């Protein structure tokens, strides 16, 4: 193993050679020589090595200490504040099956030539960190070892919070090539330490060879190879095997007064309530973002959290709506804030429940109220996609089964989105195929979590549209096959927290706890339901009693009717949009298209029977 431009200690060379893995050595030699850092540091699982990374991030200015012990802040560049979907491409070869129209691709030969040109010498003057992680619990059949090369100590420190150290996992490979690898560089930095060449920001994903090249960026959604970039690699692998890799939380629901924990997974597009659902007070969180699902020995579904931490949107986290997260963010522990406002070493963010300072330091630099960007748009005190990064173990509601090698049994799946005028707050699928259809029909209004215009309704099947790397027909077929292979299929639900009338939300933010407890009760046969054209909805009496029990709040029949009326015209409009999205897609399963036709006919029959476009729930009884 020869690094032509870099200095590496004998101790670090030994760390690599002790893995006895020629493929690891080949990867390191090829890309370190290509990127040409001045120095290479190999990081093992030891506490000393991991502490060194955190200290390096502070010494080189990628992070700064804040007033509370253990808290630091990082700023991405003003033009590097969200996932860049335009420049994230899947490398494809002529023999690969035609990808769906929603998947951005580039010819593999062309893409590699371009990105290798960008990578050549990109780390000159810098230190490259070689990292080993494990996607999933240690020593588990679910998990995938992952190798990272990065010149960002912020990225490396974030990954220490988010992922399990995996140096020992690579020892267990015994020379196998069965691992993912990632090469990242922030590129040339400006005077603020931000990526300068964002016009050459590239995230190129080679699914066939299990590798990612991500250049000229710092925002974690683009730079942390193990996050959404690795999710794409896992989706490709899962869909060519017999399991699921999904953009899902994993949580344990614990109804008060009942000695049980029922595990749910849930898929929500960014900024649609995913983390806040997983963090509903009184419940257990096992993961908030990515899950691997496999069959258990008894034919049940089991899930693990790929990560051990949270990279969460911080906007609107406040002591009333999110007490557990808010307490975590305001007490001593190892924690990274990004793109918030800093005043006198204290962090501030949008919607935190207090008045924000009129000046300070933020993602744009020195800031004061009234500042604008070069397009003349107001610069907010903190970015709407500002984040926090923390280990799940730091949360008081962390599930003790977080690191269980066999994961947890999943009894229900939730799909949610942002919908102001169509869907009810919660409903249950008729059966598994209908549940897959519900997931494949998710729509959401865009937010600041992705680059582009906010407020546009978008199609987002399984909340996974940005991460799909196989044709939609194959992806849906894999879900259907997975369900058929199970001895007991989970129930499937859809939620919508965003119904509005006259521009005002009909739900309160905390109401999701009631919908969650209703779903959990349905799993155990404790609540009945009303059958409607779209699925099963709650009965008024059950919802009323839950609101009284959970919040000591009166819940009126009038509000129930407004929330749970079936808006036939709106659902038919949605079906038209969904059919349009799937038009031209090859190899759609007949079960899926049949389900779509069945739901449409249900709605048309209801319109004919009731003679109107909006039918209240009581009329279906």
Residues with a catalytic annotation lie at 272
Q: Report the candidate in 117, 121, 129, 112 with the shortest Cα–Cα distance to residue 43.
A: 129
CA distance 550 to 255: 10
Task: Check the CA dihedral 151-154-155-156 and report its sign.
Answer: positive
Long-range interactions of 461-466: CB distance < 8 A, separation 24+: 462/246, 462/247, 462/267, 462/415, 463/247, 463/248, 463/267, 463/268, 463/269, 463/272, 463/274, 463/415, 463/416, 463/417, 464/235, 464/246, 464/247, 464/267, 465/102, 465/269, 466/83, 466/85, 466/88, 466/228
Q: What is the 3-state secondary structure (H, E, C) of 209-268?
A: CCEEEEECCCCHHHHCHHHHHHHHHHHHHHHCCCCEEECCEEEEECCCCCCCCEEEEEEC
Is the distance from CB of 154 to CB of 222 less than 8 angstroms?
Answer: no
**H or E segment to which residue 524 belongs:** none
For the record, the structure tokens of 204 come out as: 């190129």
> Does an H or E element contain 206, and which?
strand 202-206
Residues near 297 by Cβ (< 8 Å), separated by ≥ 6? none
Query: 3-state DSSP call for residue 535?
Result: strand
Distance CA 6, CA 153 (A): 17
Backbone angles phi, psi at 14, to 5 degrees: -65, -40
User: How far is 403 from 308, CA to CA, in rounded Å?
Assistant: 8
The answer to whether 470 and 464 have CB atoms below 8 angstroms apart is: no
Which sign does the torsion angle of CA 217, 221, 222, 224 carry?
A: positive
Q: Nearest 5°: CA angle at 335, between 334 and 336?
A: 140
Alpha helices by DSSP H, listed for 442-511, are 472-484
The residues, ordered by sequence, that sit 6+ positions from 298 with a Cβ below 8 Å of its Cβ are 487
Contact 530, 539 (CB under 8 A): yes
For 418-547, list the strands marked E by DSSP.
426-428, 443-445, 457-459, 491-496, 500-501, 504-505, 530-532, 535-537
109 Cβ partners below 8 Å, 6+ apart?
A: none
Give dist(CA 289, CA 140) in Å, integer: 19
SS3 425: coil
Task: Write down how long the chain is.
Answer: 621
């Amino acid at each position: 193993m020869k690094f032509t431009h870099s200095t590496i200690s004998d101790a670090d060379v030994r760390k690599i050679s002790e893995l006895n893995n020629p493929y690891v050595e080949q990867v390191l030699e090829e890309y370190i020589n290509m990127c040409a850092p001045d120095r290479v540091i190999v990081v093992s699982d030891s506490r000393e090595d991991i502490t060194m990374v955190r200290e390096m991030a502070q010494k080189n200015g990628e992070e700064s200490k804040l007033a509370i012990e253990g808290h630091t802040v990082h700023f991405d560049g003003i033009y590097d504040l969200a996932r860049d979907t335009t420049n994230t491409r899947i490398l494809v070869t002529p023999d690969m099956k035609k990808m769906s129209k929603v998947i951005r691709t580039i010819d593999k030969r062309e893409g590699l030539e371009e990105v290798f040109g960008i990578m050549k010498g990109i780390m000159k003057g810098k230190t490259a960190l070689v990292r080993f992680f494990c996607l999933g619990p240690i020593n588990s059949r679910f998990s995938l070892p992952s190798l990272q090369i990065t010149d960002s100590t912020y990225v490396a420190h974030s990954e220490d919070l988010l992922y399990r150290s995996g140096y020992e996992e690579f020892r267990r490979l015994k020379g196998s090539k069965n691992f993912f690898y990632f090469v990242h560089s922030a590129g040339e930095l400006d005077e603020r330490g931000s990526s300068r060449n964002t016009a050459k920001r590239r995230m190129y994903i080679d699914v066939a060879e299990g590798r990612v090249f991500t250049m000229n960026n710092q925002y974690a959604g683009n730079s942390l190879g193990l996050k959404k970039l690795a999710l794409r690699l896992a989706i490709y692998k899962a869909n060519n095997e017999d399991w699921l890799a999904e953009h899902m939380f994993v949580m344990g629901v614990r109804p008060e007064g009942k000695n049980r924990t029922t595990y749910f997974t849930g898929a929500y597009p960014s900024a649609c309530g995913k983390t806040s659902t997983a963090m509903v007070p009184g419940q257990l969180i096992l993961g908030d973002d990515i899950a691997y699902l496999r069959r258990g020995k008894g034919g049940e579904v089991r899930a693990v959290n790929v990560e051990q931490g949270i990279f969460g949107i911080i906007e609107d986290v406040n002591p009333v709506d999110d007490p557990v997260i808010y307490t975590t963010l305001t007490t001593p522990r190892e924690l990274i804030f990004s793109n918030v406002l800093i005043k006198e070493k204290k962090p501030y963010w949008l919607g935190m429940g207090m008045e924000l300072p009129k000046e300070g330091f933020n993602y744009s630099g020195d800031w004061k109220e009234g500042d604008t960007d070069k397009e003349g748009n107001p610069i907010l005190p903190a970015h709407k996609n500002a984040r926090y990064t923390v280990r799940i173990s730091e949360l008081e509601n962390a599930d003790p089964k977080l690191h269980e090698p066999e994961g947890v049994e999943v009894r229900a799946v939730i799909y949610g989105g942002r919908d102001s005028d169509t869907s009810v707050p919660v409903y249950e699928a008729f059966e598994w195929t209908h549940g897959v259809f519900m997931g494949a029909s998710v729509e959401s209004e865009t937010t600041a979590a992705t680059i582009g215009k906010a407020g546009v309704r978008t199609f987002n099947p399984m909340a996974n549209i940005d991460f799909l790397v196989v044709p939609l027909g194959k992806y849906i077929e894999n879900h259907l096959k997975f369900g058929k292979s199970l001895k007991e299929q989970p129930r499937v639900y859809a939620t919508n927290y965003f119904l509005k009338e006259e521009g005002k939300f009909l739900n309160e933010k905390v109401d999701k706890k009631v919908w969650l407890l209703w779903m959990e009760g349905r799993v155990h046969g404790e609540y009945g339901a009303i059958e409607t054209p779209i699925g099963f909805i709650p009965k008024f009496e059950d919802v009323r009693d839950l609101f009284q029990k959970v919040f000591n709040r009166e819940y009126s029949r009038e509000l129930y009717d407004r929330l749970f009326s079936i808006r036939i015209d709106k659902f038919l409009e949605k079906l038209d949009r969904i059919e349009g999205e799937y038009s031209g897609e090859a190899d759609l399963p007949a079960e899926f298209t049949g389900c779509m036709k069945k739901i449409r006919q249900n709605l048309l029959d209801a319109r004919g029977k009731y003679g109107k476009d909006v039918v209240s729930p009581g009329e279906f009884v």
